[in-house]
Every structure is written in structure tokens, then in C-alpha cells.
Amino acid sequence: MVKRALLSVSDKTGIAEFARGLESLGVKIISTGGTAKILRDAGIEVTDVSEVTGCPEMMGGRVKTLHPRIHGGLLCLRESKEQMAEAEREDISLIDMVAVNLYPFEVTISKEGVELEEAIENIDIGGPTLLRSAAKNYRSVTVLSDPSDYGRVLKELRSTGVISEETRAALAVKAFRHTADYDAAIDTYLSKTLLGENVLRMNFTDGVKLRYGENWHQKAYFYKDPKIEGPTLAKATQLHGKELSYNNYVDADNALQTVKELGNANPAVAIVKHNNPCGLATGSTLLQALQAAWDGDPISAYGSIICTNETFDLKAATFLNGKFVEIILAPDFNPDALEYLKNKSENLRLLKLPDLREAFGTDYTYKYVIGGMLKQSRDISLYEKWESVTDMSYPEEKRSLSEFCLKACKSTKSNSVNLAYEYEPGFFMVLAMGAGQPNRVDSIRKLAATKAIENLKVIYERENPETSFEDYCQKVMSECVMASDAFFPFDDSIIHAAENNIRYIVSPGGSIRDGEVIAAANRLGVSLVFTGMRHFLH
């Protein structure tokens, strides 16, 4: 039972209401400084810590609760006759509850121009010690480090008169996690400020075991970042289907990031297979975007992951009839579409992510390598310049299509080359991609160009235009844009592009042979833009 509680908080949110609730249950309250004043102003009876310890607060408030009559009252093992007798002999009264949150160190150091002295004064000593003492003895003491838990604790006390051991254990773990994060922030700041050393401490929680890793014989787990904001797979709700695997998470993350590149102006769909967007399109409707994305590579779309920025509707759902996909990730699903997709397959995973249209909440990405961690800023920008470098100037009306193609290219594994087509005015699709090749020319001649012709064959047979396939193919290719994620080291890429009637190319430029590349483009009637920005993705 809770007879005495110590309340000493930096964040005063809800503390008066909590204390009033405890008082109504007969709990005696001990408090310090500003917290005690707030409680007294609210008409709550409070005993000052200094009355318990017999010592005044000292050292400018630095020393208040660091005393045996406080920590003895927390750490005393109630089941130990020896310790209980010792407590009585030393006039130590037991404390059954602690509500403490810490000086705002992270808020302080986030302020521009903060001085070291101010940061140090916001390093809490007594608070973490109280939390750790109470958490260590959680079988007898309830510890609260988060104001959001006040209501839960009061509800239990009112309904049963006690706090369950399950709740006390959960709150103890939360308190230790809180002090660990707090100390990690101090270490990171002081290592940089005092020693000039960069320290990276990361915190991931709620780990779940996955079906398997990249391969069936590998074990895998997924952990969540509890502080991340914006759309993430960690926030997605699975509405249907079997549990996700390691590869599902990797591919779904690529699909999410790729769709986010296209913004929210139009319905957009990304179809990802083996961590590459094999289909990507915008449309006037979700169905139109989905059809165009599927046309980008119908073969690779088998067993793929689909992500869209639109609520999934029944028309889009019925389009997938007879088509095998692993996951659909969307902001939401219309009820009829959800029912249809659930009946389609018991294994199809349906993931709902309501804030999919919101901005990402991080500016960095991380990648673990054996023995170390790589950290880099996210590849957010698209180009540094827009410089037409050939005799045939790059038409401005191709700018929007080119930007779409660049966004597709930066989401595709290097060396990457993408072909994009404006299949209807204002709406774009990836016609083909060349991904993951050790040389760029193979990305064009062996993959992108060849795949584009294959995909156009499917579209041609469905639409049945009044022209030969050769003429149809030549016309479409001549209207496409090709984007490369890095410069062309030789002019052979330009030559192979021109052989396939590709007339508009976007590249970062920057090769020592840029002159030869430009000369080849001029000779072959290709319009070339240099952007000054590379987009490798490994």
C-alpha cells in the first residue's frame, strides 16, 4: 500500500491534480522547493524534505534529497527484519512512491548559444538517484518518471487500493530507461564540448522477432525508435496478413521513401522489389497511378511491395485481382477495399500508416558495418544547378518529367539509370530502370533500354494503337527522359542511349571526360543537362 509519496518534478504538468488524488486516498506527501510551493498553493498538505532529513536544502539547491532518511526509506527491503529494524532504529520512515522527472538537460543544450555552465547546472543528480533507488526496490516502491502515468496509477489505487507488481515493474523499467537516456545525452554533449570527441548513442525499444532474416536460416529482429516523428514503419498498423520478414521491412521502407519523394500533389504509387522501385508513377486517380506503375515492370511486380500516398479504394484493389503482391502500405483503406483485399489472400499484409503524407522526422540515416556505424545526412535535395550543356538546348517543358525521373533514380540502387515517360499530360511513369550494375553502360544497354522495349510491348498490345510497334516504340523512347545517378565516365552511355532513340538525358556531370560526353551528345542530337548533384544509393 502507498502511505508516503515523494514528489519532486521539473515538469509540473499534472502534478497538483496527481497530488490531490493521492491526498484523497490518505497518502502523505513529501516534496521539495518549487514542487512543494505549487502543491501548497493548490491547498495540498505537504511535508518539506528538509523536515524529513533534518537538513536544509544547500549548495544552491544542489543538495536536497541525497540523505539516508530519503534513500533508506526507498531502498529498505520490507521483507527483511534486519533492515526494517535498522530503519526504525535510525528513525527512517518508509517511502512507498516517488514521482520525479529531471532537469531539462536536452532542452537546455538544444538552445542556440548555450554556455557550458548553464548546461552543467541542468545536470540533475538527486533526481536520477531517486529514480534509481525507487526502481531498484520496485517490489515495494512505485516510481513515476513520466506525467502520462499519473492517471494510470491513480486509477489502480482507487480500484484496488494497491499498485500491482506488474505495473511497478513496468514503471521501474521505464525509469531506468529514462535515466539511461538522460546520462547518454550528458555523455554525448560533454564528450563533444570538453574532449572534442563525437559519441553516438542510440536507443531502440519494443524489439520483436521477425519470421526470418534476409534468408530463412538467419534470425532477425525489428526495434523501434521511440522518439522518431513523422511516417515510419514503426508506426504502421498491420490490418491483415502474416507477420513481416526482414526483407519486407527493407523493401517497404524503400517504397515509403520513394513515394514520399513525389510529394502529395497527385496520387502516386511505388512498386518495390528487392529494394528497387521497379514501378513508379503518378496519376489523376489511384487506379491510374497503379496501372502505370505496374506497367513499369509487370514481371518484377510479382511478389512486390506497393506503397501509395492515397487511401486504397476498391477500384485499385480489384486491379490486383490475379496479381501476387506481398504488402500494400497506404494512409488508409476504404472498408470495401479492405474487405476485398482480406479475401484476396490470407497472407497479404495490409499496413495502414495515417501520417504517411507528413514529413519525415529525421535528417539522418544510419548503416551498421562490422565494428562501426555510418551516419550521414539524408539525400534530400535533387540538383544544385540546371545547366543545358549541348547545342540542342534542353526544353523547359521536360523539366517536370526530368525531376520525376531523378527522384526515381535516387531511390534506385547504384549504378542506376532510369527512363521516365509522360504517359498523359502532367502524369509520369518509370518506363524502365537499370539498377545495381558495376558499370553504368550495362545499366543502359543491358537493362533500362531492353526492359523499356519489353514493357512497351505489353502496353502496345493492350492499347493497340494504329501504328506499327517499331514506330510506336521509337516515338515513346524519343519523348522519354533518361536520368543517371552519377556522371558518365565515357561517351559510350550516350551512344547506347541514342541508339535506342533516347533524346533527353539528365546527369550530374563532373567527369574528366565531360567534353567527350557532350561532343557525343551534340553529334547524335541528344539534349543533355548537368545537375551538379550525384545520387548514389548503396
- Do 479 and 396 contact (CB within 8 A), yes or no? no
Nearest alpha-carbon partner for 182 in 192, 190, 171, 194: 190
* Beta strand pairing call for 237-240 and 427-434: unpaired
Q: How far is the C-alpha of 235 from the C-alpha of 356, rounded, in Å?
A: 10
Residue 489 in grid coordinates: 565516365
Q: Closest Cα to residue 317, out of 282, 269, 284?
A: 269
345 membership: H or E segment, kind and range? none
Query: What 3-state DSSP class applies to 419?
Result: strand
Contacts of 343 (CB under 8 A, 6+ apart): none
- State the catalytic residue, choosing from 136, 174, 315, 342: 136
| Beta strand pairing call for 221-224 and 325-330 | unpaired
Q: Known catalytic residue: 496?
A: no
As a whole number of angstroms, the distance between CA 67 and CA 54 comes to: 10
Q: What angle do CA 25, 30, 31 make, to 5 degrees?
A: 125
Identify whether the C-beta of residue 352 lies closer than 8 Å to the C-beta of residue 332: yes
Catalytic residue, chosen from 174, 235, 274, 323, is: 274
| 383 three-state secondary structure | coil
Sequence-ordered list of residues with C-beta below 8 angstroms from that of 44, at least 6 positions apart, any chain: 16, 19, 20, 23, 29
Residue 274 annotated in active site = yes
Amino acid at 30: I
Report CA-CA distances (Å) from 425 to 283, 331, 462, 477: 10, 26, 20, 16
Q: How far is residue 100's CA from residue 106's CA, in Å, rounded to a whole number?
A: 16
Show Cβ contacts of residue 153 under 8 Å, excluding neighbours closer than 6 positions: 97, 142, 144, 163, 167, 171
> How many residues are listed for the chain in this entry?
538
CA distance 31 to 46: 7
Distance separating alpha carbons of residues 487 and 531, to the nearest angstrom: 10
How far lies 335's CA from each of 314, 420, 483, in Å?
Answer: 9, 34, 39
Contacts for 70 with CB less than 8 Å, ≥ 6 apart: 6, 49, 52, 53, 95, 130
> Which of the residues are catalytic?
136, 274
